[in-house]
Structure 1
Amino acid sequence: MPRSGGPMAPGARPLWLLALWTLAGPARSGAAEAGDGGWQRRGPGAPAAVPEEERCAVERRSDLSYSEFVQHYAFSRPVVLQGLTDNSRFRALCSRERLLASFGERVVRLSTANTYSYRKVDLPFREYVEHLLHPQDPTALGNDTLYFFGDNNFSEWASLFQHYSPPPFSLLGTTAAYSFGVAGAGSGVPFHWHGPGFSEVIYGRKRWFLYPPAKTPEFHPNRTTLAWLRDVYPALAPSTRPLECTVRAGEVLYFPDRWWHATLNLDPSVFISTFLS
């Protein structure tokens, strides 16, 4: 079940910005600017915490060579990469204050948060950040939940993307394309699959649920990941549960071709994916 609205190659004109997901809490904490980029929400209305998994089932590697990556992971299983690139400059530019100053008046396109995206809504990025980043309603259906996802011509965002260093294994003899996201706590993409790629967390934490291509997960395409975690996940037998891992700021998850995956942002998060064609 591939997603629609694929991105274009980095550096191409036009660039397309895919942003996977909305919804966090209302009150901003300026004191947290340095650690979380000003994206955290605290006080009344903040969403209840969603925990990390008990144990990450995806291997973490900080000393991986290209040949090892191709032999052990590229075509067979996910891996979390640590410390292979320095994106401190990009991270600083992705703070709430700086993104709003640079791109607040740019119009972005939101899509419904289900496995198949249908309805689209255009509005300024500032309005999205200041008015739609409220807590995810666990009872809301995917087609009633809007998130920022592709479809817009964002060649003007090249001034941000030029500071991003993609994972060193991101070419693999193919064309790579970026997908940038700002998402609220409790939001996430339901199960879907597409080509291989890397997803780096810039701020926050993102919990991943993954199944190999031959193992179709049990899910409803119009239910959010938060609802799936609450209603379906607890009843799964251990043998039918997905691979799980929470990816933290500065880490990169690689997922192979056609692997089923769903995501859940545990905090207000900023992230960028590099898709391989």
Structure 2
Amino acid sequence: CHVFLATSPIHRAAKLKMSTNEVLSTAVRSVEYAASLFDDVEFSAEDAFRTEPEFLADVLEAAADAGARTLNVPDTVGYATPQEVRDRFAVLAARIKQRHPHVIFSTHCHDDLGMAVANSLAAVQGGARQVEGAINGIGERAGNCSIEEVIMALKVREDLYGVTTGADSRHLVRASKILCEITETVIARNKSVVGINAFAHEAGIHQHGMLADSRTYEIMRPQDVGFEGSWFVLGKHSGRHAIAKRAETIGRPIEGERLAAVVAGFKRRADQIGEINDAELIAIIDQVDGVSEVVAQYA
């Protein structure tokens, strides 16, 4: 059972019209009642990061005394910064875990300033062991913490955070797509982890590095989040290596002067239409080969 009550001055005055003592007693009474009915109770101090630090600690400790097993410290309006979050969790944990060593601290961040994921990860560093978020970052206003980004950050940088999750990350892309269909929304192509461009490469130097070793430009495997693999976007920034590789893949290998001519034609066409698909590439190769044949006839 999840019980929450606002604790910040603005919420106490404008919304609840309650004093600090009234908020404290209401939190205790609510958690005690919930604990009489449920084995597991979570208490959230809404708008925690605009709450006076000492009063916030008093409310959370009182909730733990009343039977809350999980203490949630939410950045309800996306106001906090990573350093603030890390420090606040560390201070709260140091105080409350002395009497309640088994209590779990939880973080719940909103993205109003674009820091929900960073703040959630900072909370983990400060001692949080539960992260509340949403696939695709959906939620009130600018949304909640994108849970898929947190999962992969903890997985890729386990050396830094030193924790793991029980999430099977191979289902993240599928979950994202299902949610897009249900909510009838579209995420940005360059959305971290699950965006269609998350493992796409267009720049020539990037494609060249990927051909040599995918680790040059990918810090996680696309298969780890549910994509089939990486792919190259052939466009104006692509280099001759990627063009030649794609031509070979579609059964039209090119090299030498022929490759140089195809690359020149490719660049001209890419300036006109942007991305070059396989049909366009074949047409460019055919055009180069056609010109070569004519030149050969009159040589």
Tell me, yes or no, whether TM beats 0.5: no
Higher Cα Rg, which structure: 2
> Larger relative contact order (C-alpha < 8 A, sep ≥ 6)?
1
Q: TM-score under structure 2 normalisation?
A: 0.19
